[in-house]
């Protein structure tokens, strides 16, 4: 039996502190194209500029969301913000 095409997807979880999230978010916000060119031309040539650019775009989006969650969570626990109450289903 031969398989003509096989697609495998793997997701990885990166555990970051709030400070690390903020640091990477700042770096990703520098500009995905500029970072991609810097990395691919000066640090490593294994990946294309476009691959790095897509990665930094996705990373920036995820890090901004994580930073927002960190901030909201801190505000809930400090009493500055109220968590949303879910409606109870009978």
Q: How many CB atoms lie within 10 A of CB 45?
A: 9
Top-confidence residue, 86 or 42: 42
Per-residue pLDDT tens over the stretch 10-30: 778 888 888 988 888 888 877
**Residue 62 burial (C-beta neighbours within 10 Å; 0-12, 13-18, 19+):** middle
* pLDDT for 63: 87
Establish if 9 belongs to a structural domain: no
Top-confidence residue, 9 or 79: 79
Establish if 5 belongs to a structural domain: no
Per-residue pLDDT tens over the stretch 22-57: 888 888 877 878 888 888 877 777 888 888 888 888
Establish if 45 belongs to a structural domain: yes
Q: Which domain holds residue 45?
A: 18-76
The total domain count for the chain is 1
- Three-point CA angle 53, 27, 40, nearest 5°: 40
């Amino acid at each position: 039996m031969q398989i003509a095409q096989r697609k495998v997807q793997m997701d990885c979880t990166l555990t970051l502190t709030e400070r690390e999230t903020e640091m990477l978010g700042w770096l990703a916000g520098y500009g995905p194209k500029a970072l991609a060119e810097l990395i691919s031309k000066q640090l490593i040539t294994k990946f294309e500029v476009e691959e790095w650019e897509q990665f930094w775009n996705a990373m920036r989006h995820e890090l901004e969301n994580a930073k927002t969650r960190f901030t909201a969570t801190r505000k809930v626990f400090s009493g500055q913000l109220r968590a949303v109450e879910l409606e109870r289903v009978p």
